[in-house]
């Protein structure tokens, strides 16, 4: 079965980046997605790994708009004898939309291109 999602999203809060015990980086993000004609927004967690996690950590901040491409995943866990589950996006690629805030652009003037 083919599982692919591409959506325009905005970051609800700054990424949380961790390094696993094996040395891999993972960036966890909370994003908002809305349809063009929708009055409500959908919020979902998103994760990026390795080099894409490093890019997310360096360039994404709360409110930044971007396009995420990846797959829909589900995690399950048990707590107090109850089983819980949630859907999330495992991002493979990201593309920035719009421009940085003026303050950010002045700080990162040497970073004119994002290394992909």
Give every CB contact of residue 76 below 8 A, 6+ residues apart in sequence: 83, 84, 85
- Rg over CA atoms, the chain: 16
Q: What is the mean pLDDT of residues 68-87?
A: 95
Instruction: Name the one residue in this structure whose structure tokens are 């015990």.
Output: 21
- In which domain, by residue range, is 11 found? 5-101
DSSP state of 55: H
Whether 108 is covered by a domain: the verdict is no
How many domains, the chain? Answer: 1
Give 16-59 pLDDT, tens digit per residue: 999 999 999 999 999 998 776 667 778 999 999 999 999 999 99
Query: Residue 106: pLDDT above 70?
Result: no
> Within a domain: residue 87?
yes
Kindly indicate the confidence band of residue 100, based on its pLDDT and cuts at 50, 70 and 90: low
112 occurs within a structural domain: no
> The pTM is what?
0.74
Which CATH number do you get for residue 21? Answer: 2.40.50.140
Cβ–Cβ under 8 Å, residues 6 and 45: no
């Amino acid at each position: 079965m083919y599982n692919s999602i591409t959506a325009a999203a905005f970051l609800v809060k700054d990424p949380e980046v961790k390094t696993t015990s094996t040395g891999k980086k993972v960036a966890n993000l909370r994003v908002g997605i809305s349809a063009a004609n929708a009055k409500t927004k959908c919020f979902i967690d998103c994760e990026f790994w390795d080099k894409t996690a490093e890019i997310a950590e360096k360039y994404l901040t709360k409110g930044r708009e971007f396009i995420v491409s990846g797959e829909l995943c589900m995690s399950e866990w048990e707590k107090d004898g109850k089983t819980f589950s949630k859907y999330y996006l495992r991002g493979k690629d990201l593309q920035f939309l719009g421009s940085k805030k003026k303050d950010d652009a002045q700080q990162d003037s040497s970073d004119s291109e994002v290394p992909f």
